């Protein structure tokens, strides 16, 4: 994978982020309303059939989970879900464990590339994988080469909520750097089962795939 100075800076930005500062602060995340979680999970998952239907047991993992506020919402809505999440900020993970009573096994330190590679090696698989405003911070090489090869083997369903554009190289560089992409064409396999814009965030789009 090609890593340039902007990606290095970006990784350090998220890794070293603390509990004070701007809207990206983990402390701010613990205090946000659950409206976006409710829209993403309740409306999205509630609109389709899956392992979460009829109160069935299922596993759900979130890439770039920060303090785990979405995971906390999920387990409050689905009685038989087993949740987990990875992030590279120890500050966010420790705050999430304390605030939402997660264990070290539920919220743990790993970057998304490391986590995917380890899961591939061990054969780890989830019913659901999610990315909420996280994949847009990963570089093009990672998303174009790693995601299509490994995500369909790691889960039965993948949902992401990201900046959506048809322009292939739309990118903002600096703190909180993001890449806007066409997430509708991310995978050559699987079936798109959800595609919807979210009104309270301009240009954000939720896309879901089914790989089984």
pLDDT in tens, the chain (212 residues): 444 444 544 556 655 566 555 556 666 666 665 666 777 777 777 778 888 888 889 999 999 998 998 999 899 888 899 999 999 888 889 999 999 999 999 999 998 988 999 999 999 999 999 998 888 878 777 788 888 999 999 999 999 887 776 555 555 555 556 777 778 888 888 999 988 776 555 577 888 999 97
Q: To the nearest 10°, report the CA torsion of 167, 9, 120, 164.
A: -20
Structure tokens at 211: 């790989």
CA distance 156 to 48: 13
* pTM attached to this predicted model: 0.84
For helices 69-77 and 90-100, what crossing angle results, to 10°?
30
Interatomic CA distance for residues 107 and 125, integer angstroms:
17
Whole-Å CA distances, 100 to 13, 33, 47, 59, 107: 24, 14, 27, 18, 10
* Model confidence pLDDT, tens digit, residues 3-40: 444 454 455 665 556 655 555 666 666 666 566 677 77
H or E segment to which residue 45 belongs: helix 44-46
């Amino acid at each position: 994978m090609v890593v340039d100075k902007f990606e290095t800076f970006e990784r350090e930005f998220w890794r070293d982020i603390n509990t004070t500062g701007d809207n990206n602060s983990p402390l701010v995340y613990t205090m946000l309303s659950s409206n976006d979680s409710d829209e993403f999970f309740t409306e999205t998952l509630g609109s389709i059939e899956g392992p979460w239907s009829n109160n069935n047991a299922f596993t759900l993992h979130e890439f770039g989970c920060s303090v785990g506020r979405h995971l906390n919402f999920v387990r409050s809505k689905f009685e038989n879900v087993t949740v987990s999440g990875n992030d590279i900020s120890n500050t966010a993970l420790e705050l999430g464990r304390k605030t939402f009573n997660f264990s070290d096994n539920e919220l743990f330190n790993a970057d998304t590339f490391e986590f995917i590679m380890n899961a591939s090696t061990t054969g780890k698989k989830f019913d659901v994988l999610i990315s909420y405003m996280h994949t847009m911070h990963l570089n093009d090489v990672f998303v174009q080469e790693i995601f299509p090869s490994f995500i369909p083997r790691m889960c039965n369903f993948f949902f992401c909520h990201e900046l959506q554009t048809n322009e292939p190289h739309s990118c903002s560089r600096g703190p909180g750097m993001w890449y806007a992409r066409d997430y509708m064409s991310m995978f050559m396999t699987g079936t798109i089962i959800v595609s919807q814009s979210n009104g309270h965030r301009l240009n954000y789009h939720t896309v879901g795939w089914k790989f089984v």
